[in-house]
Structure 1
Amino acid sequence: MAAESELKMSHDFPTNKPSSAFDPSAPPPFTINQIRAAIPAHCWVKNPWRSLSYVLRDVSLTLSLLALALHFDSFFFWPLYWPLQGTMFWALFVLGHDCGHGSFSNSRVLNSFVGHILHSVILVPYHGWRISHKTHHQNHGNVENDESWVPMTEKLYKSQSHKTRLLRFTVPFPILAFPIYLWRRSPGKEGSHFNPYSKLFSPKDRKDVTTSTSCWLAMVSLLLYLSFTMGPTRILKLYGVPYMIFVMWLDTVTYLHHHGYKQKLPWYRGKEWSYLRGGLTTLDRDYGWINNIHHDIGTHVIHHLFPQIPHYHLIEATKAARPVLGKYYREPEKSGPLPVHLIQNLMDSLRQDHFVSDSGDIVYYQTDEHSRTKSQ
C-alpha cells in the first residue's frame, strides 16, 4: 500500500483527457494527404549542391575553431571554444541525420558517404542510428513501438532501481544519455546500435551496421592514437568536452521535441495509434540564433510527418501547412538570442512526466508524487 501511495497521480495532470476545449487526442479532421497537398511542390526538391554547401560551411567552421584552439591553447580561450565547437558538432549531426532520412539528396551513395563521415567523426554509428531513428519516425507516439524517449509504463517504472530513476529524471543525467542509448537502448528495450545481430535490425541491415560500426571503431582508434601522441588532456580539451556538449544538445533537443508542452499530449496504443496522430504530438521549438546553425531542426512537426523534405524548406512547408493543422499545430514560444526559456520546459517535464498507465489505448504522462516531493 505504501508503494502505491508513493505513485499517486498528479492532481495537476490527470491521466484521462485534459480538461480543455481542445482535445489533442481526438482524430484530426484532416488527412496526411491534405497536409501534403498544402505544401508547395518545390519544398520537396532536394538540391545536393545546396546540401553540400551546408556541409562545407559547418566543416569549415569546425576546423577553424580547432585551428584557433590549437593556436591560442589558453585558459581564457577554452571556455569560449567548448560551447562553440560542441554546437558545431551538433550541426554536423543534423546534416548526417538528413543523410539518413534521404532529405540530403536523391543519391543513396552520396547520402551514405557524407552521412558516414559526418556521424563517424562525432562517434555516431551512421547506419545503426539511421535505422533506429527511422523506427522512431514510423512509430512516434506509440507506447509499445516508438524507439527514442519512450515512456515507461507504471509497472516498468516501479521495477526500476532508484539509480535508474535518478539517471533518467534528474538533470544533468538525462541530457548525457545518448552514448548509453547507443550501447543499450532505453529501459525495457534490448539491443545495441553497434551489434549487427541486435534486435534493432533485420538480417538485411547487418552489412550496413557492420560498416558503420567499423567506421566508428576507426574514429575511436584515431582518438586513442592522438591521445598517445598529443596527450590525453589535450584531446579531452579539443574533442572530449565539445563531444559532451554535443551530446547535451542532442538529448535536450530531441527530448523537447516530444515533451514539455503546457498541455499534456497523448500517447497511443493499438487501434487508436496512427502515423498522423502520433506525428501530431511532436512540438516545434524556437532556438533563437541557433536555428540557423542547427539547420532549423526545431521546425519539427512537418519534419516528423515528412522527413523527406530538406531542412532548408521546412519553415516554408510549415507555414503552408499551418492552416490545415489548425490547433494541432502548437506555436513555439519565441526565443531570445539564446534559448534559455527551454531550460524551464525541460526541468518541469522531467519533474512531472514519469510514466504512463499500463493499460488504455490513449494515455498521458503521470507523476510519481513521492519522487517530485523529494526533489523539491
Structure 2
Amino acid sequence: MSSRRGMISMDQASKIADNPSAVSLRSAEDDGKLAAISVKHQHNRDDEEFDASTRPPFSLGQIRAAIPKLCWERSIVRSFSYVGRDVTIVVALACVTAYLDSWFLWPFYWIAQGTMFWAIFVLGHDCGHGSFSNSKRLNNLVGHIMHSFILVPYHGWRISHRTHHANHGHVENDESWYPMTEAVFKTLNFWAKCGRLKFPTTLFAYPVYLWTRSPGKDGSHFNPSSDLFDQSEWSEVTMSTACWLAMGAILTAAVSQFGFLWMLKLYFVPYIINVMWLDAVTYLHHHGYDKKIPWYRGKEWNYLRGGLSTVDRDYGFFNKIHHDIGTHVVHHLFPQIPHYHLCEATAAVKSLLGNFYREPEKSGPIPLHLIPVIMKSFSEDHFVADEGDIVFYQKDPKQCNCR
C-alpha cells in the first residue's frame, strides 16, 4: 500500500494481528512474566495516576498467547445461525407491523427494526474481517448480501475499515473518527463544525462519510479510483458499488409500487435508526472516556498502542443483539476472532492488560448512561495539536457557536 503515505501495509497488519507465526509463542519463562505483569496490573487497576500513553510492559504476542485457542475457531454453522436469527426477526417485525398497521406500533417497530439493521451490519462487518468463516468467497458473498441490504458498499467499506484497524490510534493515518488537527479544525465552516460536534447531528454522519470521508481527507467509498483504494482493488469496489445501486433500484421500485409513506415506515426510518446506532457505537469506542485517550504520531505509534487506545462499552440488553460489538479492544487487536468468542477472549486478557484496559461502565438494560458520555465528548473533544508524537483531544475555546 505504498500509495497510502506513512500507513502500515495491509499485509503487515494481517501478520501482526492474525498470523500466529508473526508473534511470539508463550514459553514457560513467558508464563512467569505474564503472571508477574498480571499481578502488578491488578494492584494498579484503580491507580488514578496511571498514564495511558506509557509504553505497555507486554507484547502483542503475550496478549495473543493468553487467549484460549478456542477463541480463534470459526464455525460456519454458528455464524449462519446468527444470520438466520437476525433475518427471521427482521422479516417477522416487518410482516407483523405492516399487517397491523397501527400508529401506536410503528414507533416501536422503527426502534426494534433499526436495531436489527445495525445487528445485520455487524454480521457483514465480521465477513469483512474474515471472522465469519474460513472461506473468503463465502465471507464476501454473505457480506455483500447483508451490507447491500442496509445500503453499505461492502468492499468499499471493508477496505477503508481494514485501513482503520491497521492504523488505529494514529492521528494522520487512522480512517474513521480520527481527530482533526487544530489547523484543520480552524478551516471548517459553521455547518461542518455542527456536523462533526453537535448532538445529535453527528449521529447521522455515516452516509456522508461513505460519500466524502471525514474533514481533511478526500475520496469516496463508491469510487474505485478514490485514494482509499489501490488499483488492484478496482474490480471489488466496482462490484460493491453495483450491488449498492441494485439495492437502490429495488427500493425505488418498492416506493413506486407501495408508495413513499409505506417504504418510509417499513425501511427508511429503521435505516436512519441503524445509522444512529452505527455512528454512536463507533464514536464511543474511540472517544468519551473519563481519562483522555492518547493519539499517536511518528515513532510513538505502533499497532499495539493504537489498539489499546480503544474503549470497550456495555450496551446492556443490546449486547447480544449487537453481537457483543462492545468488546472492542480485543477485536481491534485481533479482528479475525469471531464475535461469539470476544467476551471469552476479553476475560482472558483483562488481568494482563491491567490499567491499559478501560473497564466499561456497567449498564442497566437500556444504556442511557452513554447519552451524557457522548454529549460531553462532543462538547470537549474537538481537535488535537498540530505537532507532537503523543497528543490528546483539546476543547475549542469558542465551544462551537452552533451549540
* TM-score using structure 1 length: 0.94
- Work out which of the residue numbers 201, 216, 223 in structure 2 matches 1:173: 201
Q: State the shift of 1:373 in Å.
A: 8.0
Q: Equivalent of 1:36, from 58, 61, 64?
A: 64
1:4 maps to which residue?
none
Superposed CA offset, 1:201-256 (max 9, x none):
00111110011000000000000001011001110110010000000000000000
The 2-side partners of 1:144 and 1:25 are apart by 17
CA contact (8 A) 1:154 1:357 kept: yes
Distance 1:374 1:221, change over 3 A: closer
- Larger deviation, residues 67-76 vs 217-226: 67-76
Could you say what secondary structure the match of 1:23 adopts? coil
Q: Find the counterpart in structure 1 of residue 356 from structure 2.
A: 328
Identity %: 62
For residues 281 and 70 of structure 1, what CA distance do their matches in structure 2 show? 44
Name which of 179, 182, 191 aligns with 1:163.
191
Partner Cα separation in structure 1 for residue 307 and residue 75 of structure 2 = 26
- Structure with bigger RCO (C-alpha 8 Å, 6+ apart): 1
Contact 2:224 2:234 in 1 (8 A): yes
Structure 1 CA distance for aligned equivalents of residues 101 and 237 of structure 2: 38
Q: Which residue of 2 aligns with 1:368?
A: 396
Match of 1:113 among 125, 128, 141: 141
Indicate the residue corresponding to 2:35 in structure 1.
none
CA deviation vs aligned residue, 1:244-303 (integer Å, no higher than 9, x gap):
000000000000000000000110000000000010010000000100000000011000
Aligned pair partner of 2:256 in 228, 250, 256? 228
Count of residue pairs brought into register by the alignment: 357
How many angstroms does 1:369 deviate by? 2.2
**For the structure 1 residues 216 and 369, does the alpha-carbon distance in structure 2 shift closer, same or farther, using more than 3 Å as the test?**
same
The worse-fitting range, judged by mean Cα deviation, of 67-76 and 297-306 is 67-76
1:261 matched to which residue of 2?
289
Give 2:163's match in structure 1, choosing from 112, 130, 135.
Answer: 135
Residue in 1 that maps onto 2:178: 150
Matched, 1:205 2:228: no
Equivalent AA in structure 2 for residue 43 of structure 1: C
- Contact 2:114 2:272 (C-alpha < 8 Å) held by counterparts: yes
- Helix, strand or coil at the partner of 1:215: helix
User: Which letter does structure 1 place at the counterpart of 2:279?
Assistant: D
Superposition pairs of residues 97-112 of structure 1, within 5 angstroms: 97-112=125-140
Query: Within the alignment, does 1:355 sit opposite 2:395 as a pair?
Result: no
> What's the C-alpha RMSD, in Å, of the aligned pairs?
1.1
Task: Decide which of 316, 322, 336 is 1:308's aligned counterpart.
Answer: 336
Counterpart CA distance in 2 for 1:36 and 1:291 is: 24
Q: Is the 8 A contact 1:352 1:372 kept in 2?
A: no
Give the TM-score of the pair, scaled to structure 2. Answer: 0.87
- Counterpart position of 1:86: 114
Question: Could you tell me which residue of structure 2 aligns to residue 271 of structure 1?
Answer: 299
Residue 65 of structure 1 contacts residue 81 of structure 1 at CA under 8 Å; is this kept in 2?
A: yes
Give the C-alpha shift of residue 372 in structure 1.
5.8
Judge conservation of contact 1:149–1:255 (CA < 8 Å) in 2.
yes
Runs of 4+ in 1 over 3 A off after TM superposition: 372-375
CA distance in 1, matches of 2:206, 2:196: 12
CA distance in 1, matches of 2:256, 2:99: 20
Letter matched to residue 79 of structure 1: P
Kindly state the Cα deviation for residue 183 of structure 1 after the two structures are TM-superposed. 0.2
Paired residue for 1:124, among 146, 152, 155? 152
Does 2:54 align with 1:26? yes
Which whole-Å CA distance do the structure 2 matches of 1:372 and 1:286 have between them?
A: 30
Q: Residues of 2 paired with 1:209 and 1:73: CA distance?
A: 39
Contact 1:95 1:118 (8 Å CA) reproduced? yes
Q: Any unmatched runs of 5+ in structure 1?
A: 1-18
1:318 aligns with 2:346: yes
User: In 1, Cα distance between the equivalents of 2:209 and 2:187?
Assistant: 19
1:12 equivalent in structure 2: none
Contact 2:194 2:400 in 1 (8 A): no
* Structure 2 Cα separation of the partners of residues 76 and 326 of structure 1: 48
Q: Is the 8 A contact 1:40 1:317 kept in 2?
A: yes
Q: Which residue of 2 aligns with 1:57?
A: 85
Q: Using the alignment, how far apart are the partners of 1:117 and 1:372 within structure 2? A: 40
